[in-house]
Amino acid sequence: MMSEEKIKKEYERIESLSKNPQSTLLAMLHFIQKEKGFITEQDAEYLSSISKIPYSKVKAVMTFYTMYNLKKTGIHHIQICRNLSCHMAGAPALKKIIENELSIKEGEVTPDGLFSLTEVECLGSCGTAPVIMINETYHENMNEEKLKALLKELKEKNENTTR
Amino acid sequence: MKILLDKISFDIETYIRNGGYLAIKKAFSMKPAEIIEEVKTSNLRGRGGAGFPTGLKWSFIPADKKNKYLVCNSDESEPGTFKDRELINKNPHSLLEGMIIAAYAIGANEGYIYIRGEFAKEARILEKAIYEAKKKWFLGENILKSGFSFNIKVVRGAGAYICGEETALLESIEGKKGQPRLKPPFPAIVGLYGGPTVINNVETLATVPWIILNGGKAYSAIGKGKSSGTKLFSVSGPVKKPGVYEIELGTPFKDFFENQLGGMKEGERLKAVIPGGSSVPVLTAEEAMKVTLDYESLQSAGTMLGSGGMIIIPERQCMVEALWILARFYHHESCGQCTPCREGTGWIEGILKRILQGKGKREDLNNAKEIAQNMMGKTICPLADALAMPVISYINKFEKEFVYHLEGKCPLCQK
């Protein structure tokens, strides 16, 4: 859970630039998620209490939009596109490589908390397919060699890295 | 002829050196109604997919009302479409300049750019461009002493294709679930926060400065017949040179494919073409070779120009699998508010998966088509139609491949 003080401070900042409390919701959920990679029930409840946005509405929004993670993700959250252009360019084989290299299945987190893998819909990068998004960064024109090198690099990176 | 990607300008200094921000000066010397007339004369049509005439859209905004908004739709999420992303990366100020002119024309003092959440880098590019424009007094209070004030805010989405539908987008800016609104009232009357609102695509708005500088007539002279101007096509699939291309409307597909895309990659053969984003009916290779890339020609071929998101499908790709991938997408992205879409997209995905796995029955093909027929025109927004149209066209044009699967012997899937 994120410190309440931090959430409150950011809420006040965003709210002062917004039309009404509800309009802050998407940005606030992005903010909360950025810290830990996912949003907890407690964070959402706290946001509801300070903004006076009914909890039902906060929950409706955080479950509607697919970018909000409601359970723990890895420090490196790998999202691989499964739509047509990426599929034709070899995304399914890349997904298998990731699963093998990290010994996890789609939707899982590695035991050390470093990686998680999820399939996503079109990322709008079809001309440079296949594309993989790790946290907020696009990795385009991926192939087996580039993917393995990237995973190796991320593994070797300081394991204490935070998001 | 290039307008949008003619000169690449990452920053404001380069953009100004390339003739940028001259159009706003000219615009401020004109009356708002004159600008709307000029855009009407240009025949510019919405480049997001629907192709609605831009000048006409602007003219629906009541002149006497306050609290009007201009919203830029940058929620580019239709599979195969990545042109707006390229435009923001290579020429962000053309969008801002277009927005300033559009806002002045409709009398809006507040603007929003709604950008899909995954485009974090592009959102930062826009934030930087807005900052640069403010420093030069192109945005903010009393712009260039014209008496007109305008500010732009970037709002990030959070992963929902449906927010590209304009009223779902408004809901999302307001911090709600992106579920399309019932129309009427249309956004021009009751839009964002209840105020009259124009929502235009990135490419549409970025075209406006050129029209103001060179005149609507000059723009309407580009292209073919009623399809005026240039259009961005984002091309994916196994062609030699995929990417974003700006071409004159009316260019024959064959020329574009052979000369600009370089044809298919070594060892690949062309089977089918999705000309305008995943929601438009597919063309066989033979059909594609006969069309020109404009609204009318594609319509008479039974498909649409859409967003210009062109997906080239090779011979090796099984069409049952391709359609299942699209059905899975539309089912995943259905907002759930209308029954025909929420249930229909799921049923179709299920039927296709069954066929794909060799467990299909002969009547599945007609069932899928019948469900599709019953989804069309029965929902608040066109997401249901966006799946229904491909379903019917894929099954009709590639029935043989579906039959292979029913008989359990698809040569393409036996990998």
DSSP state of B190: S
Query: Are residues A126 and B79, on separate chains, in Cβ contact within 8 Å?
Result: yes
Set of chain A residues whose Cβ sits within 8 Å of the Cβ of B172: 26
Q: B286: buried, middle or exposed (CB in 10 Å: 19+, 13-18, 0-12)?
A: exposed
Handedness of CA B314, B315, B321, B326 (dihedral sign): positive
Interface membership of A13 toward B (CB under 8 Å): no
Averaged pLDDT of chain B: 97
Instruction: Summarize chain A as % helix, strand, coil (round to 5).
Output: 50, 10, 35
Interface membership of A112 toward B (CB under 8 Å): no
Question: For position B326, what pLDDT does the model report?
Answer: 98
How many residues make up chain A in this entry? 163
Interface membership of B1 toward A (CB under 8 Å): no
Interface probe, candidates A126, A131, A143, A163, chain B, greatest B C-beta count within 10 A: A126
Phi and psi for B113 in degrees, rounded to 5? -110, 115
Interface membership of B191 toward A (CB under 8 Å): no
* Interstrand relation of B270-274 and B230-236 (parallel, antiparallel or unpaired): unpaired
State yes or no: pLDDT of A163 exceeds 60: no
Distance (Å, whole) CA B245 – CA B233:
5
Question: For position A35, what pLDDT does the model report?
Answer: 85
B197-218, pLDDT tens digit by residue? 999 999 999 999 999 999 999 9
Question: For position A60, what pLDDT does the model report?
Answer: 97
| Nearest CB to B172 within list A26, A29, A120 | A26
Domains of chain B as residue ranges with CATH: 12-217 (3.40.50.11540), 224-314 (3.10.20.600), 319-406 (1.20.1440.230)
Interface membership of A38 toward B (CB under 8 Å): no
B10-68, pLDDT tens digit by residue? 999 999 999 999 999 999 999 999 999 999 999 999 999 999 999 999 999 999 989 99
Domains of chain A as residue ranges with CATH: 4-64 (no CATH), 76-156 (3.40.30.10)
Question: For position B409, what pLDDT does the model report?
Answer: 87
Distance (Å, whole) CA B247 – CA B2:
7
B315-354, pLDDT tens digit by residue? 999 999 999 999 999 999 999 999 999 999 999 999 999 9
State yes or no: pLDDT of A2 exceeds 80: no
Set of chain A residues whose Cβ sits within 8 Å of the Cβ of B178: 64-65
Q: How many CB pairs under 8 A join A and B?
A: 127
Residues 6+ apart with CB under 8 A from A52: A21
| Residue A3's pLDDT band (cuts 50, 70, 90) | confident
Q: How many Å lie between the alpha carbon of B321 and the closest alpha carbon of chain A?
A: 9
Question: For position B414, what pLDDT does the model report?
Answer: 73
Question: For position A157, what pLDDT does the model report?
Answer: 80
Question: For position A99, what pLDDT does the model report?
Answer: 98
State yes or no: pLDDT of A1 exceeds 90: no
Query: Which 394-413 residues of chain B touch chain A by CB within 8 A?
Result: none
Interface membership of B158 toward A (CB under 8 Å): yes
Give the chain B residue whose CA is nearest to the CA of A124.
Answer: B82
Cα dist from A142 to A92, A95, A146, B72, whole Å: 12, 11, 6, 31
Supply the ipTM of this predicted assembly: 0.95
B68-127, pLDDT tens digit by residue? 999 999 999 999 999 999 999 999 999 999 999 999 999 999 999 999 999 999 999 999
